[in-house]
Amino acid sequence: MKPVEGIFPLLNRNRTTVITTHQKPDADAMGASLALRHLLVQLGHTVTVISPTNWALWVDWMPGCKEVLNYEADKAKADKILDNAEWLFCLDFNALNRTKTMTDKLKQLHCIKILIDHHKEPDTGAFDYGISDPSKSSTCEMIYDLIIGSGYSDKINKEISECIYAGVVGDTGSFRFPSAQPAVHRLVADLKSKGLDHSKIHEALYDNFLENRLRFIGHVLLNRMEVFYEYNTVLISVPKSDLLYYEIKTGDTEGLVNFPQSIRGIKLVAIVIDRDEERKWSFRSKGDFDCNAFARKYFEGGGHFAAAGGRSSDPLDVTVKKFLKAMKENKSQLQ
């Protein structure tokens, strides 16, 4: 993988470009994809953003989101666009299998593939150009860096500002994680000086749910949460029946993993959601517990040191048992 700067001199040439990101895109994934799209359109590219799957309502407000293609829902059309792509940007993931049913298609493409991502252990062999920097708060911060670094700061408009800010807020936990370094606050100051209405973005991200989701959270915290004080660990396991009863949609479970972190002394929070196609794990840690390593070792996943995810094809009770065994194996790191 050659440095991403290699594409800077070519950015202002018309290209047929596809931008994609990981399945179930969150604010950072969708924000980065749309911010880059708004830049490249201004530079003369023909751009399509393709998401591997559907996405949550709390990213659907982002400028340009209505034109994003959902690969699962629109496969034939998306395949045709991918076949004609000259450039493919891969944002906020670092191994092609994070695109689920798009994986095989992306592997077959012969176009130039460009990675922009902040997760650990990238599959650099899969990309022609790129940048992988786990010290960055978010892929949105990296898109901002790309815009500044390539000399196009004058192209930062309202749409780009809103998309970038949303991703930075999402991935820094509203500026609370250690990744919210001075450069992140300078980025915000720059966007604010360009007219960004930041309160509007917080409302769109966090005050944009239905009543049932709040009732669901209450139920889950009361009835589905177990605290293992000996291991400083909290486990939440959500059976499919809860998702059906509370009519839970994509994105409604986002953020649930953060609640148990408010319990004093907790080092690891794990949550598993019994989705149709798989059991989806999320992990969050404080201190020196490495969620990325844990997710990779036990749950076919990965991510960051303090926030990672994984999956299992096992039934819920089986994958929960596996977690409990893994927790016990990691007792010394959890104390």
Rounded alpha-carbon distances, angstroms, from residue 110 to 12, 52, 87, 126, 325: 22, 19, 9, 11, 43
301 binds, among ligand 5GP, Mn ion, none (CB under 5 to 8 A by kind): ligand 5GP
Residue 312: beta bridge partners? 279
Q: Count how many residues are written for the chain.
A: 335
Cα–Cα distance measured from residue 55 to residue 250, given in angstroms and rounded to the nearest whole number: 6
Q: Closest CB to ligand 5GP among 64 and 303?
A: 303
Distance from CA of residue 95 to its chain's centroid? 13
Distance from CA of residue 221 to its chain's centroid? 24
SS3 64: coil
Neighbours of 245 (CB within 10 A): 13
Distance of closest approach, residue 117 Cβ to Mn ion, in angstroms: 8
Nearest residue to ligand 5GP, using CB?
309
Q: Taking contact as CB under 6 A, which single stretch among the options 7-15, 72-80, 187-195, 308-316 is the one that binds ligand 5GP?
A: 308-316
Does the protein bind Mn ion through residue 141 (CB under 5 A)?
no
Task: Please report which residue ranges of 53-157 form alpha helices under DSSP H.
Answer: 57-60, 75-83, 103-108, 139-149
Q: Phi then psi for 275, rounded to 5 degrees?
A: -75, 165
Q: Taking contact as CB under 6 A, which single stretch among the options 70-78, 220-228, 235-243, 309-317 is the one that binds ligand 5GP?
A: 309-317
Which residues in 101-140 contact ligand 5GP (CB under 6 A)? 119
Does the protein bind ligand 5GP through residue 275 (CB under 6 A)?
no
Task: Record the tokens describing residue 198, joined without a space.
Answer: 């930041």
Distance of closest approach, residue 68 Cβ to ligand 5GP, in angstroms: 18
Among 22, 37, 38, 105, binds ligand 5GP (CB under 6 A): 22
Does the protein bind ligand 5GP through residue 36 (CB under 6 A)?
no
Among 100, 297, 311, 322, binds ligand 5GP (CB under 6 A): 311
Among 171, 242, 252, 290, binds Mn ion (CB under 5 A): 171
Among 25, 122, 167, 309, binds ligand 5GP (CB under 6 A): 309
The closest alpha carbon to 85, from 69, 100, 97, 101, belongs to 69
Rounded alpha-carbon distances, angstroms, from residue 103 to 237, 261, 287: 28, 34, 34
Does the protein bind ligand 5GP through residue 251 (CB under 6 A)?
no
Among 25, 47, 51, 92, binds Mn ion (CB under 5 A): 92
Residues 47-57: b if buried by 16+ CB within 10 A, e if exposed? bbbbbbbbbbe
SS3 295: helix
Q: Closest CB to ligand 5GP among 260 and 301?
A: 301
Residue 308: beta bridge partners? 283, 303
Q: Taking contact as CB under 5 A, which single stretch among the options 12-20, 33-41, 89-97, 310-318 is the one that binds Mn ion?
A: 89-97
Does the protein bind Mn ion through residue 162 (CB under 5 A)?
no
Q: Closest CB to ligand 5GP among 22 and 113?
A: 22
Distance of closest approach, residue 192 Cβ to ligand 5GP, in angstroms: 26
Among 40, 114, 272, 307, binds ligand 5GP (CB under 6 A): 307
Cα–Cα distance measured from residue 21 to residue 94, given in angstroms and rounded to the nearest whole number: 9
Among 234, 290, 302, 306, binds ligand 5GP (CB under 6 A): 302
Applying CB under 6 A, the residues found at the interface with ligand 5GP are 22, 98, 119, 282, 301-304, 307-311
